[in-house]
Amino acid sequence: MEFSMKSSTLKMIQTSFCILVVLAISSFSMMESRDLDITGKANVKYMALNCRKHSAVLTEFGAVGDGKTSNTKAFKEAITKLAPKAADGGVQLIVPPGKWLTGSFNLTSHFTLFIKKGATILASQDESEYPVVAPLPSYGQGRDAAGPTFASLISGTNLTDVVITGNNGTINGQGKYWWVKYRSGGFKSITRPYTIEIISSKNVQISDITIIDSPAWNIHPVYCNNVIVKGVTIIAPIDSPNTDGINPDSCTNTLIEDCYVVSGDDCIAVKSGWDQFGIKVGKPTQQLSIRRLTCISPDSAGIALGSEMSGGIKDVRIEDITLLQTQSAIRIKTAVGRGGYVKDIFARRFTMKTMQYVFWMSGAYNQHPVSGFDPKAMPQITNINYSDMTADNVTQPAKLDGLKNDPFTKICMSDINITLAPEPKKLLWNCTHISGVSSKVTPKPCSLLPERGAPVHCAFPVDKIPIESVVLKKCSA
């Protein structure tokens, strides 16, 4: 955690967070109810990349929705038996109302996992239900420890056309078991499972579901092309460890929109590999659009870029963002040894209330793999654009720390109004080893971001990335 809070402040945040969660879930329930047919039972309508010719219900494969019986075998058997039909118009597996306890299972191509309202996929707390898998090539080890990782609850590798959706059905990661063991040092050589991890795949959609209490990261597409994450609610305690919301990682052409995240870590963390491993793999995250996100994260960022950014992060568009009681808006995290770059970042139309920082950049995020990073591998941070933002009750507008021999350049801020908290930091703008310009920013920025002549409006692209033009189809489950 980056800063500590008084207990009274934490209680206020927790109370507000509970109210907002109830409102968010209620609004999703009202929206999905319009999709039911006149009986309220069948033919739930949903939007997807592709509809499916073949359909089956989880109970056809012996599943029991009592919250106690393990259904890992049923999920695996269902997907295995449905897979041969995937090439003939695709298949969907419907998870009906009930509590469906399961360990890790893998998806297949041309496949939809549809979680109905009233259905909960309940993640097993039995470690034996999660195979141990090798770490990702761009990381070289797990993020919790040097060594392998537990397979994610819902996984898939080398897939084409895979959809995880529902009418606000739930995935419950039952994370408390994992958080307690992690905090006590119980994972010395292995990393906790994520909830959803899709690897080296294309045409991926995750939408209209609720994920609660993930053991660690919630949604992790990595090495993927053409990804949509839409209408997802993610909820975890604000003090839960590493429960990042959505982490696009070495992905190209990704759209994240209309999501609501309450997290113990970054609501969205954009990544592309860690130190020498990320440099070697060399897969950037690029063509990323994030819009209409609501985030609560008192100890982390609304959107983080890094710190694992060694494959590069570029062409990121972020707009129409609401941040409540969140540590920082956009945080760029990097370090000596990362290499890579964060460049061509465009952010606009943010509304923020109760923030520690608005802008935060750090060149000293010194978490590294066990050994072997190159101290000569310097990150490039350049062409970072922020415009049209308001923030109330802010402790410090900006903490911008570049690297002495590798300054962060071409930072632009325009049309930004920040109202300070009752007890702000004495140094409002803490800036070192950066350069750029500002225009119509209140309070006045540091001298390294001067106003220059006529008003400037920081850039935002007028074109669209390809995924923004994709039209989803109306399907039935």
- Tell me which residues are annotated as active site: 265
* Sign of the C-alpha dihedral computed for residues 144, 149, 152 and 153 taken in this order: negative
Cα–Cα separations (whole angstroms), residue 152 to 271, 318, 390, 416: 18, 28, 38, 40
* Residue pair 373/337 in contact by the 8 Å Cβ criterion: yes
Residues in the chain: 477
CA–CA distance, 211 with 175 (Å, rounded to integer)? 11
Angstrom distance (rounded) from CA 421 to CA 186: 40
Residue 290 CA to residue 311 CA, distance in Å, equals 20
> Between the CA of residue 1 and those of 65, 192, 308, 329, what are the distances in Å?
38, 19, 17, 16
